[in-house]
Structure 1
Amino acid sequence: MERPVPKSVQIAYGAPALALALMGVTFYVYLPRFYSDVVGVPLAQLGWIILLSRVFDAIIDPALGMLSDRTRARWGRRKPWLAAAAIPTGIAFTFLLVPPVGLDAAGATLWLTLWTFLFFFFWGMVTVPYEAFGAEISADYDERTRLLGLRDGLLILGTLFSALFPAILENWAGGADGDTERHKLEILAISYSLLLVVLLVGCLLKVEERHWGEARRPKGALLGDITSALANRPFAILLLAYTIMAFGGELPATLLLYYVKYVLGSENASLFLALYFGIGFALLPFWIRLAGKIGKKETWMLAMAINTGAFSLVLFLGPGDTELYTVLICLSAVGYGATLAIPSSMQADVIDYEEWRSGTRREGQFVGFWLIARKLARALGAGVAFPILDRMGYVPNEAQSPTVIWTLTLLYAGVPCFCTFVAMLVAWRYPIDRALYSRIRDEIEGREGGGNSA
């Protein structure tokens, strides 16, 4: 019988997601325009740096996951990695957000390249074991949705705060010029880095890690593990659908500041972010309960349909349509929480399916592949969008041509909606429901020598 996870343990596990969201959103939403418009990195080079850093990140994530799965330490498989990487992640993040004043374009590009790669190396050492940790805390079909939903809810809350804090600092400073931007990011870098370390320490001290018997630990060649993982049909379907959806979803995050400023003619990007993530966070408990009633796949698809249906109308907006944009953002936000949290719970289910197939627990490896999808989606968002805008004639801090405006709108709203539609078609073939999962768990628990000492 699976023991319930105390709420205090769920909160301690989920809390670091708050800091990770603050750091991640700062990088993807605020850093590109800071480096292009204030520091002076050319837009095309900026896109390539982000793209190549994410390709690098994608290469190391599965390796980090498999190494984490094979770690044997008194603390467990995940905690040693979190303890080792917390402080270096904060240091790299701080240097990334606080470049020296007076760098020329070449120096700024070199600085951005160096610290982006270092930041994402240590970031992977945190995020891969952290997410793998969550997948093994509970094996209950509904409780893992609540647990991972809480984690992803705190991720949304962190994203909300990441929209509010810069706006508060700008109002306090009385403007948004280059010096103010630098000072603002310096405060955010130090604050977010310290918060990450504190919350990870709390997680390490409060949350017990499961210790699996040797029979359930991965063995053999890493290549064989990769082949087995990709042969897991439910995982392949889920991963493909999520990757397509994530690529579409990252384009609006990457281009939000550009769209709001140059298409709508507004400076209220932080307000729009706050509305979107605030509504997504507030409605997440509803989606978690709905998943318990109608199923995870069905809930995810319904949320994608609502999210995309409203956002597709953004294609028809133009200068001054701020009020209508606000309405559409609020409607689109209704499904946002579920598109984040429900796939996380489904991912944990396919990891159990893999144990049923192979007899081994490989959370780290599967999370590594999952993070490849997420990070490559983000990288392609920047790596595709910024060079295209540059080629269309984008000029920083100037009124944009009709060609740039049309291209920006299509990338911001048209491509994401198409991607989500395709993701829904793929996700429909996902086979694991409550009944199948119950049979899988019964067979796993009935095997002799399961070795779970949790």
Structure 2
Amino acid sequence: MTLAPERVPGWQDHARYGALGLPLAFVALPLYVILPAHYGQTLGVPLALLGAVLLASRLLDALVDPWLGRWADRWLDARTDHAPHGAWWPLAAGALVLALGFAALFFPPVQGSTPLLWWCGVTVTVTCLAFSVCTITHQAWGSRLGGDAQTRARWVAWREGLGVLGVLLANGLAASWGVGALVTSLCLTLALALWALWRAPAPPPRLIRASAPPQRPHWAAPWRHDEFRRLLLLYLVNGVAAAVPATLVLFFIRDVVQREDLVGPLLAGYFLMAALGVPLWVRLIGRWGPSRAWALGMGAQVLAFSSVSWVGPGDVGLYTAVCLSSGFMLGADLTAPGTLLTGVIQRAGPTGEASLAGVFTGWWQLATKLNLALAAGLALPALGWLGYRPGVGDAASQSALVMVYGVLPCLCKALALWAWWRLWARRGLE
């Protein structure tokens, strides 16, 4: 479906586009959280070797993202009046490989540590690459739909909001019915989301001057744009602040709050508040612009999360309040950065050049994955240096965990606010 130039997209258009965000986020939680425990505990694979295999596959996946973005641009540029969804078919193919790889990953037909490691390495690499193809193409599709700041925010909000619901669904299914239910649900939700995307607004064809020859986007082209470099640096600093608590939350609940039985409800409450907060942040973006709305969210996140320093054993009420309030503020991180990125892409793609939405998104995805790696690289060695011992729960370990889990993210958020002011706000960028 192609929108007429004068028609304002309705909520149905946003929902059809954003639907694919649910099954894609649905995959992310099992790959990063459930998979290591499944192979390490259930199948008995040595953790050190498993960690090396997973690290290598994820490094490969991250490094190819800019090239995947270049291919996504070619697929999106293939749109014609007779085939308005040029990128839909590669997305459907990627989704099929994703579903097959996900099922093969969790139900290996081999036994023994060495065969299982080989099977895990191959299938997780294929699954992660298919996941990246779908994610980058889907986000580039949304970036090309464009519009003013609030319209761009709505495309992002539906994609990310449904993604949060996907995380909630995956968490509930894994806890209640296991990986078999995860695989079945993934196949069903992928099929429904692809059907919805077929009926969603298609990206408009790229415009070129009659005198300009067709150009192929280069994988490094985004780095020529100063706005993108500034935004990506800001996104990285802010992303580390969000990724550190995500890396350590299970340790904190177990060793500081000492209520491991509440892990599921606390995480569910956090993500539910994020989903509920998304509409408010979209309205704030429409009123104040994505830049100032994001800064408000970062500042409020510092205020909300700083209370972690007072959480101790059994402080379930205080920690629940921290989870709910910081989850609500997460809505700013879900909506504002993607809205700003779309604006940068619009300004960086003048008439006469192929749109670079896919290449920009490829680098953005690489930065997203780098955030998780940087968080682990900062947080885990810092815990060891401060004397933290997992599962011990003594005063020294609790103090170290509070410092890294609670104080370090607030410092990173404060640094992100300073970077926002120096790199972005002072230049009047939106």
Same fold flag (TM > 0.5): yes
Structure 2 partner of 1:4:
8
Give me the TM-score of the superposition, normalised by structure 2: 0.86
Matched, 1:219 2:215: yes
Q: Pick which of 205-214 and 370-379 moved more.
A: 205-214
Alpha-carbon contact 2:215-2:353 (below 8 Å) kept: no
* Alignment of structure 1 residues 153-302 onto 2, 5 Å: 153-169=161-177, 184-215=178-209, 219=215, 222=218, 226=220, 228-266=221-259, 267-302=261-296
Seen in structure 2, the aligned counterparts of structure 1 residues 219 and 259 have a Cα distance that, compared at 3 Å, is: same
Cα deviation per residue 1:224-253 (whole Å; 9 max; x = unaligned)? x51x41131221111111112222312322
Aligned-pair distance for 1:31? 3.0
Structure 2 partner of 1:428:
421
CA distance in 1, matches of 2:401, 2:262: 18
The code of the aligned residue for 2:168 comes to L
The code of the aligned residue for 1:98 comes to F
Seen in structure 2, the aligned counterparts of structure 1 residues 356 and 234 have a Cα distance that, compared at 3 Å, is: same
Matched, 1:87 2:99: no
Structure 2 partner of 1:26:
30
Structure 1 partner of 2:69:
65
Cα deviation per residue 1:358-380 (whole Å; 9 max; x = unaligned)? 84421000000110111121234
Backbone CA RMSD of aligned residues: 3.1
Aligned-pair distance for 1:185? 1.8
Identity across aligned pairs (percent)?
A: 30
Aligned-pair distance for 1:409? 4.2
Seen in structure 2, the aligned counterparts of structure 1 residues 431 and 199 have a Cα distance that, compared at 3 Å, is: same
Aligned-pair distance for 1:47? 4.5
Unmatched 5+ residue regions in structure 2? Answer: none
* Alignment of structure 1 residues 359-378 onto 2, 5 Å: 359-378=353-372
CA distance in 2, matches of 1:88, 1:364: 20
Cα deviation per residue 1:175-214 (whole Å; 9 max; x = unaligned)? xxxxxxxxx1222123123312331232124432321134
Alpha-carbon contact 2:291-2:429 (below 8 Å) kept: no
CA distance in 1, matches of 2:409, 2:87: 34
Seen in structure 2, the aligned counterparts of structure 1 residues 322 and 43 have a Cα distance that, compared at 3 Å, is: farther
Matched, 1:16 2:20: yes
Seen in structure 2, the aligned counterparts of structure 1 residues 349 and 302 have a Cα distance that, compared at 3 Å, is: same
The 3-state SS of whatever aligns with 1:318 is coil
Q: 1:140 aligned to 148, 159, 168, which one? A: 148
CA distance in 1, matches of 2:148, 2:67: 28
Matched, 1:414 2:423: no
Aligned-pair distance for 1:88? 0.5
Structure 1 partner of 2:312:
318
* Alignment of structure 1 residues 45-64 onto 2, 5 Å: 45-64=49-68
Unmatched 5+ residue regions in structure 1? Answer: 170-183, 438-454
Matched, 1:121 2:109: no
Aligned-pair distance for 1:286? 1.2
The code of the aligned residue for 1:270 comes to G
Alpha-carbon contact 1:265-1:320 (below 8 Å) kept: yes
Seen in structure 2, the aligned counterparts of structure 1 residues 99 and 233 have a Cα distance that, compared at 3 Å, is: same
CA distance in 2, matches of 1:199, 1:57: 24
Seen in structure 2, the aligned counterparts of structure 1 residues 315 and 324 have a Cα distance that, compared at 3 Å, is: same
Give me the TM-score of the superposition, normalised by structure 1: 0.81
Seen in structure 2, the aligned counterparts of structure 1 residues 402 and 101 have a Cα distance that, compared at 3 Å, is: farther
The 3-state SS of whatever aligns with 1:132 is helix
CA distance in 2, matches of 1:325, 1:17: 29
Kindly tell me the number of residue pairs found equivalent between the two proteins.
417
Seen in structure 2, the aligned counterparts of structure 1 residues 423 and 50 have a Cα distance that, compared at 3 Å, is: farther
Aligned-pair distance for 1:436? 7.1
CA distance in 2, matches of 1:365, 1:434: 25
Alpha-carbon contact 1:69-1:218 (below 8 Å) kept: no
CA distance in 2, matches of 1:108, 1:313: 44
